[in-house]
Amino acid sequence: MILPVPHYQQAYNYTCVPACARMILAYFGHEHDEAELALTFKTIPFLGTQPDQVVSGLETLGYHALWFENATIERMKDILAVEWPLIVFLRAQDLPHGRTRLHALVIIGIEDDAIVCLDPTLADRLKISPSSFVPLWANLNYQGMVIWE
């Protein structure tokens, strides 16, 4: 199953996390502006957003979030099975289109041959083979985040 998460592109090269959170909140029916989320998450221009600031920022907006490490593809499948998209953190330079910095993607589904993602730097969905995705994700200790109401 591929979750019908709206896809938004990030406004700046350092706002991938607010853009990802915006996608997930919109999926749950809550519209927020990326600039509002970046301010709430204390995003630092040209540096980015710390996951712990996302958790506390979302709580001030009335949502919940859990930042995790050491996850597995199976755990990702479990989260998607309850129809929750998730954010994963990886190094952008490891992506075919990446640049040097940390990056966040929204995972919206897993097919037999692909992890289906929304990358806020791209206009279209991205599919990455599991064999390519796992090493990308491993570089940041299999980190991710779930957001819920």
pLDDT at position 92 is: 74
Q: What is the CATH number of the domain that holds 79?
A: 3.90.70.10
9 belongs to a structural domain: no
| 106 contact partners, CB below 8 Å, separation of at least 6 | 5, 20, 23, 24, 85, 86, 87, 117, 118, 120
83 belongs to a structural domain: yes
pLDDT at position 100 is: 59
Report the C-alpha gap between 99 and 107 in whole angstroms.
20
Give the domain extent around 58. 16-148
6 belongs to a structural domain: no
8 belongs to a structural domain: no
113 belongs to a structural domain: yes
The total domain count for the chain is: 1
7 belongs to a structural domain: no
pLDDT at position 95 is: 74
Q: β-strands 102-111, 86-91: how paired?
A: antiparallel
101 belongs to a structural domain: yes
Chunked into runs of 10 residues, the chain (149 residues) has average pLDDT values of 97 96 99 98 94 97 97 96 97 71 94 95 94 90 96
